[in-house]
Structure 1
Amino acid sequence: MQPTNRSQRILRPVRLWFVYLSLIVALVLNFIPTGRLPGVPDWLALVLAFWCVREPLHVGMGTGFIFGLLMDVAYGAAMGQHALAYVLLAYGANALARRVMWFGPIQQSVQILPLLLGVQLVMVLVRVLAGAEFPGWWYFTGSFTAAVLWLPLHFVLLLPQYQPEERDDNRPI
Structure 2
Amino acid sequence: MIMPRAAEKLLLPANPWFIAFTLIVALMVDMVPVGRAAAMPDVLAVVLVFWGVHQPRRVGVLWAFIFGLAVDVHDGALLGQHALAYSGLSFGAIALHRRLPWFSLRAQAVQVLPLFFGAHVLALVVRMLVGGMWPGWGMLLAPVFEAALWPIASVLLLAPQRRAPDRDAHRPL
Q: TM-score range by the shorter chain?
A: over 0.9
Q: Is residue 2:128 matched to residue 1:128? A: yes
Offset at residue 80 of structure 1 (A): 0.3
Report the AA paired with residue 68 of structure 1.
G
Q: Is residue 2:111 matched to residue 1:111? A: yes
Offset at residue 82 of structure 1 (A): 0.6
Count residues with an aligned counterpart: 173
Q: TM-score, normalised by structure 1?
A: 0.93
Instruction: Trace 1:42-61 onto structure 2 (pairs within 5 A).
Output: 42-61=42-61
Instruction: Give the match for residue 90 of structure 1.
Output: 90
Instruction: Give the match for residue 64 of structure 1.
Output: 64
Q: Distance in 2 between matches of 1:82 and 1:111?
A: 22
Report the AA paired with residue 84 of structure 1.
L
Q: Is residue 2:170 matched to residue 1:160? A: no
Q: Is residue 2:61 matched to residue 1:30? A: no
Percent of matched pairs sharing the same residue: 43
Report the AA paired with residue 10 of structure 1.
L
Q: Contact 2:5–2:102 at 8 Å: present in 1 too?
A: no
Instruction: Give the match for residue 41 of structure 1.
Output: 41
SS of residue paired to 1:151: helix
Going from structure 1 to structure 2, the CA distance change for 1:69 and 1:6 (only over 3 Å counts) comes to closer
RMSD: 1.8
Q: Distance in 2 between matches of 1:110 and 1:84?
A: 23
Please, which runs of 5 or more residues in structure 2 have no aligned partner?
none
Instruction: Give the match for residue 21 of structure 2.
Output: 21
Q: Distance in 2 between matches of 1:9 and 1:74?
A: 40
Q: 1-10 or 126-135, which moves further after superposition?
A: 1-10
Q: Distance in 2 between matches of 1:4 and 1:159?
A: 18
Offset at residue 134 of structure 1 (A): 1.4
Offset at residue 36 of structure 1 (A): 4.0
Please, which runs of 5 or more residues in structure 1 have no aligned partner?
none
Q: Distance in 1 between matches of 2:36 and 2:72?
A: 18
SS of residue paired to 1:98: coil
Offset at residue 39 of structure 1 (A): 3.0
Instruction: Give the match for residue 148 of structure 1.
Output: 148
Instruction: Give the match for residue 77 of structure 1.
Output: 77
Going from structure 1 to structure 2, the CA distance change for 1:6 and 1:62 (only over 3 Å counts) comes to closer
Deviations 1:71-130 (A, max 9, x none): 011111101001101111111110111111111211111000000011111111111001
Q: Contact 2:53–2:96 at 8 Å: present in 1 too?
A: yes
Deviations 1:119-172 (A, max 9, x none): 111111111001112111101211101111111111000111111111122223
Offset at residue 9 of structure 1 (A): 2.1
Going from structure 1 to structure 2, the CA distance change for 1:4 and 1:74 (only over 3 Å counts) comes to closer
